[in-house]
């Protein structure tokens, strides 16, 4: 199983908390062992936004890869995103 570090970057608005909640539900549905961190500290958030070259919050980052920004994907959409992400990681590990 691939270890997942999931970051939600956002200033603490309703959309950011909705994304965090949806991510946690998707992780639970998939039975994943993942660390979910919601970064709301402005300095930390701005540093990471620059690092990931993201422009619009909320931002969803999985193991350093931006999967979504500027929107709140539904739980089913997040399940699909995470499943696709994990499949690509398994393919890379097998290569």
Write out the catalytic residue numbers.
13, 16
Q: Is 36 exposed, middle or buried (0-12, 13-18, 19+ CB in 10 A)?
A: middle
Three-class DSSP category at 67: strand
Distances (CA, A) of 77 to 3, 6, 16, 80, 95: 20, 15, 16, 5, 27
- Give the length of the chain: 95
């Amino acid at each position: 199983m691939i270890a997942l570090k999931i970051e939600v970057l956002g200033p603490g608005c309703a959309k950011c908390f909705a994304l965090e909640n949806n991510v946690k539900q998707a992780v639970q549905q998939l039975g994943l062992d993942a660390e979910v961190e919601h970064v709301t500290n402005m300095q930390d958030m701005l540093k990471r936004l620059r690092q990931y070259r993201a422009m619009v919050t909320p931002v969803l980052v999985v193991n350093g890869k931006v999967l979504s920004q500027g929107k709140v994907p539904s739980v089913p959409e997040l399940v699909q995103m995470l499943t696709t992400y994990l499949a690509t990681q398994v393919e890379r590990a097998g290569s």
